[in-house]
Amino acid sequence: MNWRALTIVTLSLAAIFFVIQARSPLARAAKPEASPHPAAKVTFSHDVAPILFKNCSPCHHPGGAGPFPLMSYEDAKDRARQIARVTSTHFMPPWLPDRDIVFKEERGLTAAQIDTLRRWVEAGAPEGYRAETPAPPQFPGGWQLGKPDLVIEAPAGYTLPADGVDVYHNFVFRVPIDSVHYVRAVEIHPGNPKVVHHCNLLIDRTESSRRRDGESGVPGFDGMDVALESTAFQPDSHFIYWKPGSLPYFEPDNMTWQLDPGTDLVLNMHMRPSGKTEPIRPEIGIYFSPHAPTVRPMLMQLDRDDGLDIPPGAKDFKLADDFTLPVDVRVLAIYPHAHYLGHDLNALATLPNGTRKSLIHIRNWDPSWQGVFRYEHPIALPKGTVISMRYSFDNSADNPRNPNNPPKRVMAGNQSTDEMCHLWLQVVTVTSDGSDGRRTLHEALMHHKLDRYLTDYAANYNLGAMLLSRGQSSEAIPYFRRAVAADNQSSAALNGLGAALVAEGQMTEATDVLHRAVAVNPDSLDAHFNLASALAETGQFHESAKEFAWVMQRKPNDADAEAKYGTVLAELKDYDSAESHFRHALTIDPNNQLAQESLKMLDQIRRSQ
């Protein structure tokens, strides 16, 4: 039987970066005369502007995340002493990781550059020869990557309350395309960056989010954890996010991602009330590519939220997690995450031969400057490598970022005054025969999750779906049952459980479960299809026919539904209609085995009459 049950819960959280305009050599070549300042004299035009334009202006420009622009000599002169002070202490430009690993877009100044800024200030911040000043980088229309191919704005009407706790809200963007496109970048404008802590863009290929859009009378819907469901195993994952100071990023030509008609983009936003009501209306700019992806990355997560119970005064509260890779991978990027008590965040890999490799080490965590760190050269890790997360938290009064004064007991949670202990890695699986190792990796990650969180909905559902796809329905049932127990309003979990029960011949319970799946989500094609099939198995042909007719009305070119509907009509002895549906199924799919065999049986029935 062709049971439809696979709905893999995946999250797509990715970022995009701006290529800084280099100092133009033409400006140097075109000067009419030699620079009048002595060689040893530090000036803005010759020495300081190239440093600021490359390292500071991407945030410090009109409309950028920085609180003031650094786009001209006048801008820099007004802030000269402040610039020298914050760069000498390495407070700016913000860069958290140790420098033993080379990351793309690494921010930070060399000792020589910091000394140049100091000497410039001590000299009185001279401008120098103005014609020698390189052209500042351009940020056209506020879009750091240039004009997008498509701009989508959220509907108006959402207002952030003036007071209260942190707010997590999701805006649903319906993408107006009528053919397949490939995306190389997304740039996010959060609408009001002063109250937005961060936001992640999720890809919803099933329209499940639009059913919740506007449920509370305003655009979007509330919630931090958004489970997006797909009818196929689609683990392709990119870091698509916005954070103050983050730079948008073009994916390589071979690592674009597919955007299909009917796909929605969901902007999951974390906001903080400012003391006054704030209208929020984000927009996203999408940049297309002619290139289809040939490299398909996925995200893997380690976490220890279950261990977060930090007593007040604890200066070095430690948590760890370890995961053994079941396949070879190349690590493309890494994203460590904690809140304000996070202090020392370390991730490393221990290879099968005992060799250790650092993946990232942040010795003085500051969540204000967290982000995705992309490796300049991907890190190859063989099967059997143990990826380790080692985090420490400081809940003492000595922690200047501690949100509680005096310190209080802190546990896991979504509020900024709670804590989190997460590590995300973007990887590409590598197999000797070129096969896709993502399913193997995904399954191992789900088992690892259940080792610590036995009742986790996503892990239980995913494992149930994987087992059912391999025909292991009896093994799938316990996982589906735990998923339903974790969320009894999940139509996907109810549908998966129903399909597995049918495969095991437990028809009475299966029919009841599938009726519940349809009741929870009346628009679920898969649940209606499986219910129709279960009803046919129990001889309820009239009820089955109604369900199949409903499916075909909403999905006219479904060969499997046409063929199964034909078998139900044949049972009802409506042979002419049955034949019509069998032939229509073969028009859609000439290799549909059920339709082929049913036509032969129908011919035998007619011959025997």
Ranges 223-237, 389-403, 546-560: which has the least confidence: 223-237
Ranges 36-45, 77-86, 538-547: which has the least confidence: 36-45
Which residues form the domain of 75? 25-137
First to last CA, the chain: 28
602 forms bridges with which residues in the sheet?
A: none
Given a cut of 90, whether residue 346 has pLDDT beyond it is yes
Reported confidence tier of residue 315, pLDDT bands at 50, 70, 90: very high
Assigned domain for 306 exists: yes
Same domain for 31 and 108, yes or no, is: yes
Burial label, 502 (beta-carbon count in 10 A; 0-12, 13-18, 19+): buried
Same domain for 181 and 283, yes or no, is: yes
Assigned domain for 272 exists: yes
Give me 592's structure tokens.
Answer: 């549909």
Yes or no: say if 86 and 155 are a contact pair by the CB < 8 Å rule: no
Looking from the CA of 456 toward its CB, the CA atoms found within 13 Å total: 21
- The pLDDT value recorded for residue 234 is 62
Residues 485-511: tens digit of each pLDDT: 999 999 999 999 999 999 999 999 999
Same domain for 321 and 381, yes or no, is: yes
Yes or no: say if 187 and 149 are a contact pair by the CB < 8 Å rule: no
Assigned domain for 457 exists: no
Same domain for 551 and 589, yes or no, is: yes
Outline where 30-72 has alpha helix (H): 49-55
CATH label of the domain that carries residue 580? 1.25.40.10
What total of structural domains would you count in the chain? 4
Given a cut of 70, whether residue 5 has pLDDT beyond it is no
Ranges 16-20, 54-58, 90-94, 434-438: which has the least confidence: 16-20
Q: What stretches of 382-457 adopt beta strand conformation (E)?
A: 386-393, 410-411, 422-430
Same domain for 309 and 390, yes or no, is: yes
Give me 463's structure tokens.
Answer: 């494992």
E strand or H helix at 171, and its extent? strand 167-174
- The pLDDT value recorded for residue 62 is 82
- The pLDDT value recorded for residue 61 is 84
Give the integer Cα–Cα distance in Å for 403 and 415. 11
Assigned domain for 464 exists: no
E strand or H helix at 593, and its extent? helix 593-608
Q: What stretches of 338-421 adopt beta strand conformation (E)?
A: 342-350, 356-362, 373-381, 386-393, 410-411
Which letter does DSSP use for residue 412 in this model? Answer: B
Residue 277: how many other CB atoms lie within 10 Å: 11
Assigned domain for 480 exists: no
Assigned domain for 481 exists: no
Residues 357-407: tens digit of each pLDDT: 999 999 999 987 888 999 999 999 999 999 999 999 999 999 999 999 999
Give the integer Cα–Cα distance in Å for 113 and 324. 42
Assigned domain for 427 exists: yes
Same domain for 279 and 402, yes or no, is: no
E strand or H helix at 241, and its extent? strand 241-242
Closest CA to 248 of 15, 489, 566: 15
Answer with the one of 289, 306, 324 that is the final residue of a domain: 289
- The pLDDT value recorded for residue 367 is 87
Burial 332-371 (b: 16+ CB within 10 A, else e): bbbbbbbbbbbbbbbbebbeeeeeebebbbbeebebebbb
Same domain for 255 and 345, yes or no, is: no
Give the integer Cα–Cα distance in Å for 50 and 292. 37
Reported confidence tier of residue 578, pLDDT bands at 50, 70, 90: very high
Answer with the one of 272, 289, 306 that is the final residue of a domain: 289
Give the integer Cα–Cα distance in Å for 14 and 333. 10
Answer with the one of 266, 289, 312 that is the final residue of a domain: 289
Same domain for 231 and 206, yes or no, is: yes
- The pLDDT value recorded for residue 34 is 42
Q: Is 310 helix (H, G, I), strand (E, B) or coil?
A: strand
Antiparallel, parallel or unpaired: β 257-259 and 278-279: unpaired
CATH label of the domain that carries residue 164? 2.60.120
Given a cut of 90, whether residue 605 has pLDDT beyond it is no
Ranges 12-21, 59-68, 187-196: which has the least confidence: 12-21
Q: What's the rounded mean pLDDT across residues 516-524?
A: 93
Same domain for 57 and 177, yes or no, is: no
Same domain for 283 and 312, yes or no, is: no
Give me 255's structure tokens.
Answer: 């690592």
Assigned domain for 602 exists: yes
- The pLDDT value recorded for residue 228 is 60
Residues 121-171: tens digit of each pLDDT: 999 999 999 999 999 988 766 788 889 999 999 999 999 999 988 899 999
DSSP string, 372-395: -EEEEEEEEE-TTPEEEEEEEE--
Same domain for 159 and 280, yes or no, is: yes
Same domain for 153 and 132, yes or no, is: no
- The pLDDT value recorded for residue 349 is 98
CATH label of the domain that carries residue 333? 2.60.120.230
